[in-house]
């Protein structure tokens, strides 16, 4: 049975209507998964179709629990159905909403909204049962590439070793706190009243909160002004050298991690090769520059031109 057929059957079962067809005409975005807006019985829902190989990349039982905890924090969209076996998920669509990638992730107002949500997560009384560990995730992804009989870039191991050496010399151990770990601007949703939400908790787990800061900078390609506004809004002070050092390590680590993630999707038959090249080339540029210039600007690291 195709994944589309699985989703359609889940829709029919949950809504108790065998006439429902999985309508993919309103694409709502996504990389790990594909999201579509459907109106069912007078209510609009976001219907998640799991992406290729996500059953091996993501622990859906953990995600289901963390998704529930995020709802208790008051920052998640309302999930009405979650099937941990297939990864299918139905959530209520937030009316008249837009993701921050489309609204401008560099604007001071949006940076303040993002910072407020991240602080709320990181300072929450709740904890997640799992840890998000970069090296463990990378090992898992590399194994999946090999399982698909894929190959790595000819200089991959050389640059991976450079990254590990750089992190060993510059990464400072921090307290692990609840983190989203995929704070791309597309995952921040703003409604018509200016209330912000954070969705898609597949990668969530206990981690250094500076990982979330690094991810927003990198995925939003923040300008220097945007980076400074984020520091001011999130830390509410000037970040110290340890925090800045960790952000730089995590920007490097994220580009390498998502490069290998994209290789999995590529070898599974999805069109992710250009995305893979972009991330790997930026990673190589940044590791080279960081080894030559300790004060290389974080905003420049986020630029892939």
* Structural tokens at position 110: 């949006």
98-301: CATH topology is Aminoglycoside 3'-phosphotransferase; Chain: A, domain 2 (3.90.1200)
Mean pLDDT over residues 277-285, rounded?
A: 97
Model confidence pLDDT, tens digit, residues 194-204: 999 999 999 99
Given the candidates 3.40.190.10, 3.30.200.20, 3.40.50.410, 3.40.50.10680, the CATH classification of the domain at 3-92 is 3.30.200.20
Would strands 43-50 and 27-29 be described as parallel, antiparallel, or unpaired? unpaired
Q: What's the CA gap between 134 and 132, in Å, rounded?
A: 6
Other C-beta atoms within 10 Å of 169: how many?
A: 9
pTM: 0.95
Q: Are the CB atoms for 165 and 252 separated by under 8 Å?
A: no
Mean pLDDT over residues 30-55, rounded?
A: 92
Domain chopping of the chain, boundaries: 3-92, 98-301
Model confidence pLDDT, tens digit, residues 55-88: 999 999 999 999 999 999 999 999 999 999 999 9
């Amino acid at each position: 049975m195709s994944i589309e057929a699985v989703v359609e059957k889940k829709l029919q079962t949950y809504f108790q209507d065998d006439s429902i067809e999985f309508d993919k005409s309103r694409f709502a975005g996504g990389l790990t998964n594909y999201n579509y807006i459907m109106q069912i019985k007078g209510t609009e829902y976001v219907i998640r179709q799991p992406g290729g190989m996500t059953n091996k990349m993501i622990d859906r039982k953990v995600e289901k629990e963390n998704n529930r905890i995020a709802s208790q924090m008051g920052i998640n969209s309302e999930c009405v159905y979650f099937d941990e076996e297939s990864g299918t998920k139905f959530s209520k669509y937030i009316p008249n909403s837009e993701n921050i990638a489309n609204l401008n992730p560099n604007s001071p107002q949006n940076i303040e909204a993002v910072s407020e949500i991240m602080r709320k997560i990181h300072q929450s009384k709740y904890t997640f049962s799992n840890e998000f560990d970069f090296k463990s995730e990378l090992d898992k992804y590399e194994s999946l590439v090999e399982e698909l009989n894929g190959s790595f870039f000819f200089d991959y191991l050389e640059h991976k070793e450079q990254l590990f050496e750089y992190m060993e010399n510059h990464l400072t151990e921090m307290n692990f706190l609840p983190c989203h770990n995929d704070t791309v601007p597309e995952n921040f949703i703003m409604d018509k009243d200016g209330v912000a939400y954070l969705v898609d908790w597949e990668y969530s787990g206990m981690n250094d909160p500076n990982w979330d800061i690094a991810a927003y900078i990198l995925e939003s390609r923040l300008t220097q002004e945007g980076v400074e506004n984020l520091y001011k809004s999130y830390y509410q002070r000037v970040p110290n050298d340890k925090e800045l050092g960790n952000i730089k390590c995590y920007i490097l680590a994220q580009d390498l991690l998502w490069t290998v993630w994209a290789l999995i999707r590529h070898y599974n038959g999805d069109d992710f090769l250009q995305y893979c090249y972009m991330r790997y080339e930026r990673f190589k540029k940044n590791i080279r520059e960081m080894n030559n210039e300790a004060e290389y600007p974080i905003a420049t690291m986020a630029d892939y031109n």
